[in-house]
Chains A and B, each alone.
Chain A
Amino acid sequence: MDWPFLIDVAERLLTGVPLTLELAAISLCLGFILAVAVTAAASSGFKPLRWLAKLHVELFRGTPLLVQIFVIYYGLGQITLLRGSFLWPFLSQAYWCAILALSLNTSAYGAEIIRGAIAAVPDSEVEAARAVGMSGLLLRRRIIWPIALRYGLANYGSEAILMLKATSLASVITLSEVTGIATKLIASTYRSLEIFVVAGALYLALTFLIAMGLHWLERRLNPHMRA
C-alpha cells in the first residue's frame, strides 16, 4: 500500500470538503423554505396553485438531477430576457446554478416528506386541541408542527444525506468540491481505486456525522420515547 500517495490524496480531497458541505447546507436550507411553500401551495384552495405544486414535485422527482443541472447551467443562458436581468450575474456562475438545481431538486422531495409528516399527525390530537379552543396558527404552532417535525425528521435526515451525495454532481459543471478534485486526480494519475477509497471514506465519514447529529436531535425532540 502506497501510504504517502493516499495521504497526499486525502489532503487534497479535504480541501474540497468545505465546498461540499456549503453546497449541501445552503441547498437544504433554501430547499426547505421552498418545500414549505410548495406544501402550502399543494394544500391551498386555489386550484391552479395546487396544479403548480404537483407539477413542481413531478418534474423534479421524475427527471435526473444531472439533467436539471444542465438545463439550468447551459439552458437558462438561452433566454435573452434572463441574460439582461439582475439575476444574470448569479446564474452565469456554476456555483449558483448548482445551488439553484440542488435546492429545487430537494424542495420537491422535501415537499413530499412534509406532506407525509403533516398527514401523519393523529386526528385525535387535532380534535383535542380544537376542543380546548385552539385554531388557526395557534393550533399549528403548538400541536401540528411540533408533532409533524418528529414524524418527518427521520425522512428529512435521509434526504439530507442524499443531498450530501448529490452535491457530487456539481463537479460536472466545473466545481471543485470533493468529487471534482477526485475526478481530476483520477484523470491525471489513473489510480482510480485508491482515490475512490479515500473519497468514499470521506463521504462515509460525513454521512456518519450527519446521521449522528440527527440521532441526537431525534432523541432531544422525543424525550417521551427515551427508555
Chain B
Amino acid sequence: MTPTTLNLLGFGPEGWGLPLAMAAGLTIAAAVCSFGLGSLLGIAAASLKLSRVMPFRWLGNFYTTVFRGVPEILVVYLFYFGGSVALTHLINLSGFPGFFSLPAFVIGVFAVALVSGAYQTEAFRAAYQRLERGQIEAGRACGMSRLLLLRRIIAPQTLRFALPALGNIWQSVLKETALLSVTGLIELVRQASTAAGSTRQPLLFYGVAALIYLAIGRVTGFGLARVEGRLASPWKR
C-alpha cells in the first residue's frame, strides 16, 4: 500500500512531519544567527565607511563591494572548504597536530552573515545619514557624552530609519540559508531533498519546503511591520 500524501507529511511513522519541522527550526535558527551577526558586522562596517580616516573608508568600501558583488553560494563554498583548512592550519601551527573542522552550522552562519552584513552596512549608513545634524549638536549642547548621545539620539533613530531596509535584508537572509544545504547542514532544503529522495516525491516535498519558507517570511514580515509601526509612533501625529 502506498502511503497517502497526508501520511507522508504527517507525524506518524511514515510521515516526514517531524523532520521537516525540526529542519524548519534549524533554518530559522540559522537565519536569526546570521542576521544578528550580520547586524554587528553591518554596524562595524558602516562606522568604518563613515569614518574620517581614509584607509578605514577603503576597508569598508572593499568589504561591501566584494560581498555584494560575489554570488552568495561562492562565499558559502569558500567557508565550507576553506574554513576547516584554515582552522587546521592555524591549530597545527600552534602545536597541535591533526585535522580540525567547524560544525556546518557555524560555517554557514558565518558565510550568510558576511553577505548580509555587507547589505546591512548600506542600510545603517543610509539611515545614519538621514539623521538631522542639528539633533546631534543639540544633544552636545545639553552636555551629553558620546555614549549617551549614541544611546538616546543616534541609535533609536538610526534603527527606525534602517528598519524597512533591514526587513528586506531579513527576508533575503531567510532565503539565503537555503544555500547552506550544499554544506550538508540539515536545514529545510536538505531535509526536503532527503524526503524527496526516499519517497520519490520531489514535487511534494520541495513544494512543501517552499510553502514553509513563504509562511516563515510572511509571519516575520508581519511582525517586523508591527515593530516598525511601534518605533515610528513617537513621531506620528
Residues of A within 8 A of B (CB): 58-59, 62-68, 70-71, 74-79, 161, 165-169, 171-172, 179, 182-183, 186-187, 190, 192-193, 196, 199-200, 203-204, 207
Contact = CB atoms under 8 A, between A and B. Distances in A.
B203 A71 contact: yes
B210 A71 contact: yes
A21 B26 CA distance: 35
Given A67-B189, A179-B71, A78 B82 contact: no
B45 to A, nearest CB: 17
Contacts of B203: 71, 74-76, 78-79
Q: How large is the interface on B (under 10, 10 to 19, 20 to 34, 35 or more residues)?
A: 35 or more
The 3 closest A-B pairs by CB, nearest first: A75-B203, A168-B71, A64-B178
Given A192-B81, A193-B82, A58 B74 contact: no
A58 B213 CA distance: 12
Contacts of B217: 62
18 contacts: A58-B214, A62-B171, A62-B214, A63-B175, A64-B213, A66-B178, A70-B206, A74-B206, A75-B202, A75-B203, A75-B206, A79-B203, A168-B72, A179-B71, A187-B81, A196-B77, A196-B78, A200-B70
Interface in B186-207: 189, 192-193, 196, 200-203, 206-207
A131 B77 CA distance: 59
A204 B71 CA distance: 10
Contact of B176 (A64, A68, A161): A64
B207 to A, nearest CB: 6
A136 B229 CA distance: 40
B74 A64 contact: no
B43 interface: no
Nearest to A169: B73
Given A66-B179, A67-B213, A204-B69, A192 B202 contact: no
Contacts of B69: 161, 165, 200, 203-204, 207
B146 interface: no
Interface of B: 65-66, 69-75, 77-78, 80-82, 85-86, 171, 175-179, 181-182, 189, 192-193, 196, 200-203, 206-207, 209-210, 213-214, 217-218
Contacts of A172: 73, 182
B71 A75 contact: no
A49 B203 CA distance: 25
A172 B202 CA distance: 16
A181 to B, nearest CB: 11
Nearest to B207: A71
| Chain A interface helix/strand/loop/mixed | helix
A188 B223 CA distance: 45
Given A64-B177, A71-B203, A74-B196, 13 more contacts: A59-B210, A62-B218, A63-B175, A65-B175, A66-B179, A70-B202, A71-B202, A75-B202, A169-B71, A193-B86, A204-B65, A204-B66, A204-B70
A165 B70 contact: yes
A70 B176 CA distance: 15
B189 A66 contact: yes
Nearest to B83: A192
* Among B71, B86, B177, residue most surrounded by chain A Cβ atoms (within 10 Å): B71
Contacts of B207: 71, 75
A68 B210 contact: yes
A33 to B, nearest CB: 24
* Among B179, B193, B203, residue most surrounded by chain A Cβ atoms (within 10 Å): B203
Contacts of A200: 66, 69-70, 74
A64 B189 contact: yes
A3 B86 CA distance: 20
B137 to A, nearest CB: 33
A119 to B, nearest CB: 18
A196 B66 CA distance: 11
A63 B181 contact: no
A192 B82 contact: yes
